[in-house]
Structure 1
């Protein structure tokens, strides 16, 4: 069994910000996706405090809503609420779902996304007929700023580097996971489309993963340590790994007792939040876990029977 070494009693465990000479702490919540009604394929976005309390449904719509990114107090999510089933547009709201705004008028793929330039720009994976590029958009107007062509047959889950000049993404030379020889790896590309290079290399002797499982899951670029983290199913278990942008210092950072996949970092790099389950449990149920990176302590935050995934940190304001 996973031992819970730490008890979280507050919700202001974020990064410190300097305001008019005084230090204040950013108040964070965790946003995550919840399958609330499986027969009707109804997913909602919830937020909660960092101790797992005060859960709020911030979307509360029939159909599918999924979040994959936030900047400050702006929580970005895709939804099919204004169209047909699983036909997604991009929206934003806040940590409590009080304000909603549509950003794009064209369809997006189910993909992680990432912001730069203080949240003014976002990179997404559009579903536009006849085009095969990542789009960089204005988050205020939805206006297209630029495109990035990866020259990969499969490309998804783009994430900006801390300076916004590069993108790490999940790609493959085969178009579909069921294609013979399909292996998804992480690649890094400059935002002008140049210099694409492979970052990860799945162990060639590992034959335990199934066709539908990740060789390299959606990447997150953690700026405080300049590392890229991602999940990979290796030796039959999904774990979170870290790697330097130059491809060195790869190592596993979650314990073998956990199956861990989608994840995000707190702004100060102290906390890693991820979805997964305890491998020793007889009933598999995806929950949300929070890890202190330096201390390697982990707490399970959710304990119900709902399927919960893709957690991200979102700010609620400033704790004065």
Structure 2
């Protein structure tokens, strides 16, 4: 009897612990929304930004404009996005808005490339990639679009800059050729000091892997984990897109996830406990937003199939 009572007590304590952890995780997730990009009309080249509540599974179009609007970054409750509204087609400028899609404001007067970006100093400074017609540097700007400094990498191709959590480094995609269409284009991830010194290549694509088509990412846009010392990125290896990681200090790399679906653009929650991933089938007939609990690696698909292209999620604080 005593043995049975002890066993039952242990079971109840374990169950309460599991339930407590589940509640705590749910409360932590309840702090966030997800903004992501949807092709609402591919023929009309109409892209809008949607907001999604990962607990309630509700989503809403918050831009509703016949432009190309695309977010690559959020900080606290603000969403930063590029748009070609009020200008020529696919001529992008930087805007910000709140999570309701209100208080829309253009930040900078110079055009940007279609590129990820980063934030530091409690959201007061951004690193962006100006149009190649403007400059070949990355710009560090304030929230009013003032250029604080220019970072020249010395590489013919550089894109998708992202600040490290402490703001001292910038990770980016780089190559020694200008275009993927050039023979010998071989992109990799690099890091550079935020003052423009000390550039270092930190990834190498496996020489024996010949599965990637010419247009595929061999090293996709870098995403810093907020609390662990690694950078995540997508890469087409062994016949599919998966997420990989690299230690920026010693360039040690490894496969980050083991999901069977193809994995693409992604973002970490500010506390590092959640990973939002754009996932899709090998023929790219349907894109979804998937959420991964980083502690136990469980995953949940958050989107339905109303739209084919649902991409590049970023975390937004409620």
The TM-score, its normalising length taken from structure 1, stands at 0.88
Are the equivalent residues in 2 in contact too, given 1:186–1:216 (CA < 8 A)? yes
Task: Give distance in 1, aligned partners of 2:51 and 2:134.
Answer: 37
In the other structure, the counterpart of 1:160 is 163
Aligned residue among 63, 70, 75 for 2:67 = 63
More helix, by proportion:
2
Give the match's secondary structure for 1:55: strand
Are the equivalent residues in 2 in contact too, given 1:263–1:274 (CA < 8 A)? yes
In the other structure, the counterpart of 1:250 is 253
In the other structure, the counterpart of 1:213 is 216
Are the equivalent residues in 2 in contact too, given 1:74–1:93 (CA < 8 A)? yes
1:43 corresponds to 2:47: yes
> How far is the alpha carbon of 1:27 from its aligned partner?
1.9
In the other structure, the counterpart of 2:28 is 13
Give the match's secondary structure for 1:13: helix
> How far is the alpha carbon of 1:263 from its aligned partner?
0.3
In the other structure, the counterpart of 1:292 is 293
For 1:98-247, list aligned pairs within 5 A.
98-127=102-131, 129=133, 131-139=135-143, 141-247=144-250
Give the match's secondary structure for 1:189: strand
Q: Which has the larger radius of gyration?
A: 2
CA 60–130 in structure 1, closer or farther in 2 if over 3 Å, else same: closer
The number of residues matched between the two structures is 296
Structure 2 unaligned blocks of 5 or more: 1-21
> How far is the alpha carbon of 1:56 from its aligned partner?
1.4
CA 155–283 in structure 1, closer or farther in 2 if over 3 Å, else same: closer
Are the equivalent residues in 2 in contact too, given 1:52–1:302 (CA < 8 A)? no
Task: Give distance in 1, aligned partners of 2:91 and 2:26.
Answer: 35
In the other structure, the counterpart of 1:96 is 100
Task: Give distance in 1, aligned partners of 2:272 and 2:150.
Answer: 29
In the other structure, the counterpart of 2:17 is none
Are the equivalent residues in 1 in contact too, given 2:158–2:175 (CA < 8 A)? yes
CA 130–107 in structure 1, closer or farther in 2 if over 3 Å, else same: closer
Structure 1 residues 166-202: Cα deviation after superposition (integer angstroms, max 9, x where no partner): 1000010010011111111000001121110101000
Are the equivalent residues in 2 in contact too, given 1:52–1:301 (CA < 8 A)? no
Structure 1 residues 199-228: Cα deviation after superposition (integer angstroms, max 9, x where no partner): 100001111101110000000111211210
> How far is the alpha carbon of 1:11 from its aligned partner?
7.1
CA 130–87 in structure 1, closer or farther in 2 if over 3 Å, else same: closer
CA RMSD of aligned residues (A): 2.0
> How far is the alpha carbon of 1:59 from its aligned partner?
1.2
Structure 1 unaligned blocks of 5 or more: 1-6, 15-25
> How far is the alpha carbon of 1:51 from its aligned partner?
3.6
The TM-score, its normalising length taken from structure 2, stands at 0.89
Q: Which has the higher contact order (CA 8 A, sep 6+)?
A: 1
